[in-house]
């Protein structure tokens, strides 16, 4: 298979970059605490015991992860399947409890908050999931789906909820008439817009997006990523973007962490990683970005028509 030169791919990329775009997530001398601070995060999962006379085995999904993200910036997490990306997302979202280590959002230790305070704090951090088909309940209308985080907060009246839902739908490029529809009436890209609207409705400071575009067509991926960029510039949202695709992360992120077997093995701006990747896994990731070769398919079709090539590759 032909592989990149990923540098060319990035240079040729039509992707727009965040206006902030600089690698300054840890600004020296900056007196503001980071929006998100993850310290020595460890998560081990016990495996079912197979032998009564031996201690139970464990999966070491995360083995001491540290990073900070300043408000309004985007941090990308890349890594192969099983490297711990979704585990990290669940811990940052306080959907799972760490074996050890801490997650501070806006200075609060999320895993130490009493249940009532955590419920209230959830306004500030929301999640967008990978699967726009599975993450929206097919039995509920869009209005109910999008207002779900407000229902959990129990603060807004039904009319206020509907008004806010119409507002966020407009912000993601849908119409208020769509509130009455069911998820099956939308395309994959539109469903992911609904999922983003649901995340936006509490006006969160942080959105954790776990592979938000990997289930979408490439053309639709760029639309959804551009929407996320626009929303960031309008509302100053901070993103933690998880992906196995460096091109997706390059579209949106100021800094990237490479996770490998539950540890951070490399970090830098997307450009730094593309130009100076140190870790063999990062280099493998870069060489896996497919090369775009304009004209190659056309040449191959011509060969096929002439009977020279038997199969299309
Ligand atoms: N609830 C769980 N119980 C046991 N093991 C788990 C659990 N959740 C995750 N793991 C294990 O932890 C490791 C990391 O899983 P995780 O889902 O975080 O990977 P990932 O990087 O998100 O992978 P993918 O790219 O395939 O989504 C894997 O070995 C997985 O099998
Ligand atoms: Mg995952």
Give the start-to-end residue ranges of the domains of the chain. Answer: 6-12+33-45+58-132+205-291
Residue 106 Cα to ligand 2 midpoint, Å, equals: 25
* pLDDT at 253 > cutoff 70: yes
- Please give the Cα distance from 88 to 258 (Å, whole number): 12
pLDDT band at 140 (very low <50, low <70, confident <90, very high): very high
pLDDT band at 283 (very low <50, low <70, confident <90, very high): confident
pLDDT band at 288 (very low <50, low <70, confident <90, very high): low
Q: In the chain, pLDDT over 90 holds for what percent of residues? A: 60
Mean pLDDT score of the chain: 83
Atom nearest to 90 CA in ligand 1: 18
Locate 41 and state its tokens.
């995060």
CB 58 less than 6 A from any atom of ligand 1: no
Predicted local confidence at residue 11, as pLDDT = 36
Give the residue, out of 46, 83, 245, with the most ligand 1 atoms within 8 A of its beta carbon, to mutate for a pocket test.
83
Residue 156 Cα to ligand 2 midpoint, Å, equals: 33
Write the secondary structure of the chain as one string of H (helix), E (strand) and C (coil). CCECCHHHHHHCCCCCCCCCCCCCCCCCCCCCCCCEEEEEEEEEEECCCCCCCCCCCEEEEEEEEEEEECCCCEEEEEECCCCCHHHHHHHHCCCCCCCEEEEEECCEEHHHCCHHHHHHHHHHEEEECCCCCCCCCCCCCHHHHHCHHHHHHCCCCHHHHHHHHHHHHHHCCCCHHHHHCCHHHCCHHHHHHHHHHHHHCCCCCEEEEECCCCCCCHHHHHHHHHHHHHHHHHHCCEEEEEECCHHHHHHHCCEEEEEECCEEEEEECHHHHHHHCCCHHHHHHHHCCECCCCCHHHHHHHHHHCCCCCCCC
* pLDDT at 15 > cutoff 80: no
Angle formed by the axes of helices 158-171 and 188-200, to 10°? 130
pLDDT band at 266 (very low <50, low <70, confident <90, very high): very high
Atom nearest to 242 CA in ligand 1: 22
Atom nearest to 87 CA in ligand 1: 18
Predicted local confidence at residue 289, as pLDDT = 60
pLDDT band at 109 (very low <50, low <70, confident <90, very high): very high
Please name the residues in contact with 304: beta carbons below 8 A apart, sequence gap of 6 or more.
310, 312
Predicted local confidence at residue 153, as pLDDT = 79
- Please give the Cα distance from 101 to 61 (Å, whole number): 13
Considering 11-25, 88-102, 145-159, the range whose residues carry the highest mean pLDDT is 88-102
Locate 259 and state its tokens.
């996770």
CATH superfamily of 6-12+33-45+58-132+205-291: P-loop containing nucleotide triphosphate hydrolases (3.40.50.300)
In this structure, which residue's CA is closest to atom 27 in ligand 1? 81
- Contact between 248 and 241 under an 8 Å Cβ cutoff? The reply is yes
* Closest ligand (CA of 82): 1
Atom nearest to 96 CA in ligand 1: 1
CB 86 less than 6 A from any atom of ligand 1: yes
């Amino acid at each position: 298979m032909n592989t990149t030169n990923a540098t060319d791919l990035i240079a040729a990329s039509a992707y727009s970059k965040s206006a902030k775009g600089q690698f300054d997530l840890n600004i020296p001398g900056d007196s503001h605490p980071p929006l998100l601070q993850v310290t020595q995060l460890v998560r081990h999962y016990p495996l079912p015991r197979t032998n009564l006379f031996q201690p139970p085995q464990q999966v070491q999904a995360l083995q001491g992860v540290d990073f900070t993200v300043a408000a309004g910036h985007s941090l990308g997490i890349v890594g192969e399947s099983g490297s711990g990306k979704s585990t990290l997302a669940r811990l940052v979202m306080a959907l799972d409890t760490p074996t050890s280590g801490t997650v501070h959002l806006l200075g609060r230790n999320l895993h130490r908050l009493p249940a009532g305070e955590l419920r209230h704090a959830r306004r500030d951090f929301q999640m967008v999931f990978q699967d726009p088909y599975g993450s929206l309940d097919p039995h509920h209308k869009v209005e109910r789906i999008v207002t779900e985080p407000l229902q959990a907060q129990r603060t807004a009246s039904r009319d206020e909820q509907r008004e806010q839902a119409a507002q966020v739908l407009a912000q993601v490029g849908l119409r208020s008439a769509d509130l009455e529809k069911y998820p099956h009436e939308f395309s994959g890209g539109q469903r992911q817009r609904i999922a983003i609207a649901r995340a936006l409705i509490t006006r969160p400071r942080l959105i954790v997006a776990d592979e938000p575009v990997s289930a979408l067509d490439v053309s639709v991926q760029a639309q959804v990523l551009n929407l996320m960029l626009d929303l960031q510039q309008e509302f100053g949202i901070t993103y933690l973007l998880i992906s196995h695709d460096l091109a997706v992360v390059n579209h949106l992120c100021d800094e990237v962490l490479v996770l490998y077997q539950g540890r951070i093995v490399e970090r830098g701006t997307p450009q730094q990683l593309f130009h100076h990747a140190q870790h063999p896994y990062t280099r493998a990731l870069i060489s896996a970005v497919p090369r775009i070769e304009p004209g190659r398919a056309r040449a191959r079709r011509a060969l096929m028509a002439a009977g020279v090539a038997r199969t299309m590759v």
